Homo-oligomer: A and B are copies of this chain.
Amino acid sequence: MSKVRVHNLNVSLDGFSAGGTVTYDAPIGEAARLFDHFDGRVIWGVDAIAEPVRADHVFTSAWSQGIGVEIMGRRKFGPQTGPWADDGWRGWWGDEPPFRTPVVVLTHHERPPIEFANGTVFHFVDAPAPQALEYARGLAGGDVRLGGGPTSVREFLHADLVDFMHLVVVPVVIGSGVSIWDSCAELQDRFDVESVTTGSGLIHQFWNRKR
């Protein structure tokens, strides 16, 4: 069975992975500082960057390895709520979404898929975690990346559907937002956790589900 993997999920020192409010101007709300360290350039591998290849870059580039499909929460796709308006919105990423695979967007309001020339296809699915995962696996082989935000990651954690998480503890304090740890007490009992520090001040954590 293909694995369900979380990659590069940023977590503040106080446990927040996203802002509480998302708008067109502030896609990550008050949590934008979580992404200050990330230049977005290494996501397809260590070859594609002009900057030095440091440990942070190598860890980041595992994001795409062996991934066939992503599942994301609706707010990662856009700031809208409720039924979809005919507003031409095609996601935050312009004409070149970085995914290049099918992407399942979790929403209570289904709609036809949106397709891009680079292989990215957004499918809008109203289903609980186990059924959404089954749907995603039907779209493509390879592993399933659970792309966040934290609310959808927590839903999959509660359903015990996550095999691997790469969390990045960022040395900032946000104060409010959406916590990755909310109602996750004793989560660590189900995982082996390795922490690695790098010269940048980031702490990378590798959570592998116990066998």
Contacts and interface: CB of A to CB of B under 8 A. Distances in A.
Interface in A155-204: 164, 166, 192, 194, 196-199, 204
B65 A61 contact: yes
Interface string A40-63: 000001111000111100110110
A151 interface: no
A59 B2 CA distance: 21
Contact of A66 (B3, B46, B54, B204): B46
Contacts of A197: 196-197
Interface residues of A, number: 31
B66 A48 contact: yes
A52 B59 CA distance: 15
A63 B55 CA distance: 13
Contact of A55 (B45, B66, B194, B199): B194
A208 interface: yes
21 contacts: A45-B65, A46-B62, A46-B65, A46-B66, A46-B164, A47-B65, A48-B66, A52-B164, A52-B206, A53-B62, A54-B194, A54-B206, A55-B196, A55-B206, A58-B58, A58-B59, A65-B65, A194-B198, A194-B199, A196-B196, A196-B198
What are the nearest 3 A-B pairs in CB distance?
Answer: A47-B66, A52-B208, A45-B65
